[in-house]
A and B are shown apart, each in its own frame.
Chain A
Amino acid sequence: MGSRSSHAAVIPDADSIRRETGFSQASLLRLHHRFRALDRNKKGYLSRMDLQQIGALAVNPLGDRIIESFFPDGSQQVDFPGFVRVLAHFRPVEDEDTETQDPKKPEPLNSRRNKLHYAFQLYDLDRDGKISRHEMLQVLRLMVGVQVTEEQLENIADRTVQEADEDGDGAVSFVEFTKSLEKMDVEQKMSIRILK
């Protein structure tokens, strides 16, 4: 029975999105439904404002950084493939992903490395591949608002950078970041399971 819901035919490039992100058809439909619900003015894309309307996201201390992660390279709009690409980082790791990887295929978006890279990006404000002390300070300030003094925040930033920094350049590179979190169960902490 035809209806106004999302059908596979309505999602453009459904197949390529599925291959790239690994989402099942059902999950993709759900996400498309959600994308259209968030797109209040039916523009076909999401702007920063659309995401800021979500109450639970607006009160999240890292809310602004998360919203930014949807708009790489200074763009102002995110279309459905872009939307799903970010969400794909949080797909739970399933057995089929860890089977023998075809070396020619790119790493799946929800691999441990890519999850860590997403988290790294939340800190790395200028996307230069390093988290400087200054960037650490700025992100901390975002998370605590006006509740903490500058001095206390500087102490925390210094300590954190020092602990992770191995080559002594005063900044945390992605490799150092990964190393300092090697014992952390990243796959479990950064996974959102979509129920069928």
Chain B
Amino acid sequence: MEGAELAGKILSTWLTLVLGFILLPSVFGVSLGISEIYMKILVKTLEWATIRIEKGTPKESILKNSASVGIIQRDESPMEKGLSGLRGRDFELSDVFYFSKKGLEAIVEDEVTQRFSSEELVSWNLLTRTNVNFQYISLRLTMVWVLGVIVRYCVLLPLRVTLAFIGISLLVIGTTLVGQLPDSRQYRPQKGGICVANHTSPIDVLILTTDGCYAMVGQVHGGLMGIIQRAMVKACPHVWFERSEMKDRHLVTKRLKEHIADKKKLPILIFPEGTCINNTSVMMFKKGSFEIGGTIHPVAIKYNPQFGDAFWNSSKYNMVSYLLRMMTSWAIVCDVWYMPPMTREEGEDAVQFANRVKSAIAIQGGLTELPWDGGLKRAKVKDTLKEEQQKNYSKMIVGNGSVS
């Protein structure tokens, strides 16, 4: 009996602490400064760890900017220069060198595939999951790592699980926690507008909703994610659809048009990339959201990878294991930039408009811009892109009628 009593006492003290220090202050929008202190300690520890690692490894094997430069030396000359000729030169047997080199380079490393796996860090942040290239350095570092594991799994994890449990049950029951902050961010999306952002994980949604309420548009999921989605629909109208069904897409466009026409409804939140990218780049924005008309409010979201990797690789991890990884990271730190609204200009079609917004978001967030379709995560590239390359090459060898 004593064991049960003790367990009961611990549980109730725990809950009171959580309620007192975290829930109540956040309900009233007051910050106790605990997070700030935690972050300061964390940064100091990681800096110490980095210095230890650098002292420990021999000079040659330190990764220098490998994340941004890539693993092979690239020669980015266009096709004409690479084929060492002028326009209208004839076909040579040696043309094959250029193409085979480009092809093999793509096999060793391509811009797109690497965006669908987690970013590699230049210096280790004491999490095993980001440890790709670091080896054993010293006993002290290992001790700190062990301490880190204890802190993350025995303190942070139960804390976050408790919060999540409370949060999700309240959500499912149908009440909304009020968390309206004073209106100090001038560019926040207004009613009747469309909010557009780059996509890394479902946490993007959580972060944006702490600042305002949105109606969401997204892919239907199963499991825990599905439960949350269905619960949200009970509270206000969202648009969930099936990515692969063509009919659905037209339906979605129709519903979106109706939604923004009604000025009383909440602003819509859309992620035009169509899938989660690993937060180092912004991929092609699908034109669908930009055809509807209305004002677009771009938002750039950039996570700091040093504290925890927020990218959700849905083909590798399901929702629950993703949440577990999130809750055992040090912290999720992100920067959110609300940008001035944009509208489609005269003579600009949906695709150009989409690209313009994409560039703005990429520049603001410090991400690279890629023309490739995020759908490449799941499907093959379209034939039209290959035809373009073939056209370029044909123009060179035949073009000016210089065939003998």
Contact with B along A32-75 (1 / 0, CB 8 A): 01100110100000000001111111111111001000000000
Q: Contacts A54-B110, A156-B397 known; A189 to B403 CB distance under 8 Å?
A: no
Partner pick for B97 among A40, A61, A189, CB 8 A cutoff: A189
Instruction: Number of B interface residues at 8 Å Cβ cutoff, please give it.
Output: 63
Q: Least Cβ distance of A5 to chain B in Å?
A: 5
Q: Least Cβ distance of B142 to chain A in Å?
A: 7
- Any A CB within 8 A of the CB of B38: no
A160 CA / B73 CA spacing, docked (Å): 32
Find out whether the CB atom of A164 lies under 8 angstroms from the CB atom of B71.
no
A191 CA / B394 CA spacing, docked (Å): 25
Find out whether the CB atom of B106 lies under 8 angstroms from the CB atom of A159.
no
Q: Least Cβ distance of B54 to chain A in Å?
A: 16
- Any B CB within 8 A of the CB of A186: yes
Q: Which of B1-9, B25-33, B132-140, B168-176 contacts A (4 or more CB under 8 A)?
A: B132-140
Partner pick for A148 among B93, B135, B394, CB 8 A cutoff: B394
Residues of chain A contacted by B107 (CB below 8 angstroms) = 38, 51, 54, 57, 66, 87
Residues of chain A contacted by B131 (CB below 8 angstroms) = 1, 3, 5
Residues of chain A contacted by B21 (CB below 8 angstroms) = none
A58 CA / B134 CA spacing, docked (Å): 34
- Any A CB within 8 A of the CB of B103: yes
Q: Which of B199-207, B339-347, B384-392 contacts A (4 or more CB under 8 A)?
A: B384-392
Q: Contacts A57-B107, A143-B393 known; A195 to B380 CB distance under 8 Å?
A: no
Q: Contacts A1-B128, A57-B110, A159-B90 known; A119 to B97 CB distance under 8 Å?
A: yes
A155 CA / B174 CA spacing, docked (Å): 74
Contact with B along A152-166 (1 / 0, CB 8 A): 100110011000100
Residues of chain B contacted by A5 (CB below 8 angstroms) = 131-133
Residues of chain A contacted by B135 (CB below 8 angstroms) = 1
Residues of chain A contacted by B91 (CB below 8 angstroms) = 140, 156, 160
- Any B CB within 8 A of the CB of A168: no
A186 CA / B139 CA spacing, docked (Å): 50
Find out whether the CB atom of A38 lies under 8 angstroms from the CB atom of B113.
yes
Partner pick for B100 among A51, A54, A122, A152, CB 8 A cutoff: A122
- Any B CB within 8 A of the CB of A106: no
Q: Which of A9-17, A97-105, A177-185 contacts B (4 or more CB under 8 A)?
A: A177-185
A177 CA / B97 CA spacing, docked (Å): 13
Smallest CB-CB separation from A147: which chain B residue? B394
- Any A CB within 8 A of the CB of B349: no
Find out whether the CB atom of B106 lies under 8 angstroms from the CB atom of A164.
no
- Any A CB within 8 A of the CB of B96: yes
A152 CA / B394 CA spacing, docked (Å): 11
- Any B CB within 8 A of the CB of A31: yes
Residues of chain B contacted by A186 (CB below 8 angstroms) = 97
Q: Least Cβ distance of A167 to chain B in Å?
A: 17
Across the A-B interface, how many residue pairs have beta carbons closer than 8 Å?
179
Partner pick for B376 among A4, A53, A147, A160, CB 8 A cutoff: A53
Smallest CB-CB separation from B128: which chain A residue? A3
Q: Contacts A1-B142, A54-B113, A55-B110 known; A190 to B390 CB distance under 8 Å?
A: no
Contact with A along B102-140 (1 / 0, CB 8 A): 111111111111100100000000001101111110000
- Any A CB within 8 A of the CB of B404: yes
Residues of chain A contacted by B145 (CB below 8 angstroms) = 1
Partner pick for B96 among A86, A122, A191, A193, CB 8 A cutoff: A122
A184 CA / B393 CA spacing, docked (Å): 20
Residues of chain B contacted by A145 (CB below 8 angstroms) = 386-387, 390-391, 394
Find out whether the CB atom of B390 lies under 8 angstroms from the CB atom of A194.
no
A56 CA / B72 CA spacing, docked (Å): 15
Smallest CB-CB separation from B388: which chain A residue? A59
Q: Which residues of B365-394 have CB atoms within 8 Å of chain A's CB atoms?
A: 372, 376, 380-381, 385-391, 393-394
Smallest CB-CB separation from A139: which chain B residue? B96
Find out whether the CB atom of B96 lies under 8 angstroms from the CB atom of A62.
yes
Smallest CB-CB separation from A119: which chain B residue? B96
Find out whether the CB atom of A195 lies under 8 angstroms from the CB atom of B397.
no
The chain B residues found within 8 Å of chain A, CB to CB, are: 60-61, 66, 69-73, 90-114, 117, 128-129, 131-136, 142, 145, 315, 372, 376, 380-381, 385-391, 393-395, 397-398, 403-404
If A3-B129, A40-B315, A53-B376 are given as contacts, then 4 extra A-B residue pairs at C-beta distance below 8 Å, sorted by A number, are A51-B107, A54-B107, A56-B102, A194-B108
Contact sample, A vs B, 19 pairs, CB 8 Å cutoff = A1-B134, A37-B114, A40-B315, A55-B106, A57-B107, A58-B380, A59-B389, A60-B103, A61-B389, A87-B107, A87-B108, A90-B101, A119-B100, A147-B395, A148-B398, A177-B93, A192-B104, A194-B73, A195-B70
The chain A residues found within 8 Å of chain B, CB to CB, are: 1-5, 26, 30-31, 33-34, 37-38, 40, 51-63, 66, 86-87, 90, 118-119, 122-123, 140, 143-148, 152, 155-156, 159-160, 164, 172, 177, 180-181, 184, 186, 189-196
A-B complex: 7 closest residue pairs judged by Cβ atoms: A145-B390, A147-B394, A56-B106, A66-B103, A62-B99, A3-B131, A193-B73
